[in-house]
């Protein structure tokens, strides 16, 4: 949600629009940052989490 809120602010106040692909990259990156040190994801490196979205989706 934070990425969407920042994008909204950029569009309203700065007149800058990111592409959908860029937004998804930001969502994947920040999700990897947030889960990196959690127990469920401890077997993965940060590089794995940030570059391979399927790892984030398949771990329960």
Q: What is the pLDDT of residues 2-52, one digit of tens each?
A: 999 999 999 999 999 999 999 998 988 888 888 888 888 888 888 888 787
DSSP for residue 11:
I
Cβ-proximal residues to 33 (8 Å cutoff; 6+ apart), any chain = 46, 50
In the prediction, which pLDDT does 56 show?
67
Task: Tell the residue number behind the tokens 């809120």, with chain if given.
Answer: 5
3-class DSSP string for 15-52 = CCCCCHHHHHHHHHHHHHHHHCCCHHHCCCCHHHHHHC
In a domain, 3, yes or no: no
Boundaries of domain holding 55: 20-59
In a domain, 24, yes or no: yes
In a domain, 45, yes or no: yes
Who wins on pLDDT, 53 or 35? 35
Domain tally for the chain?
1
Cβ-proximal residues to 18 (8 Å cutoff; 6+ apart), any chain = 7, 10, 26
In a domain, 6, yes or no: no
In a domain, 7, yes or no: no
In a domain, 10, yes or no: no
């Amino acid at each position: 949600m934070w990425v969407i809120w920042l994008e909204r602010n950029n569009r309203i106040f700065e007149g800058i629009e990111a592409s959908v692909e860029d937004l998804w990259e930001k969502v994947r990156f920040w999700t990897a940052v947030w889960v990196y040190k959690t127990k469920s994801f401890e077997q993965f490196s940060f590089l794995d989490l940030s570059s391979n979205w399927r790892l984030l989706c398949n771990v329960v």
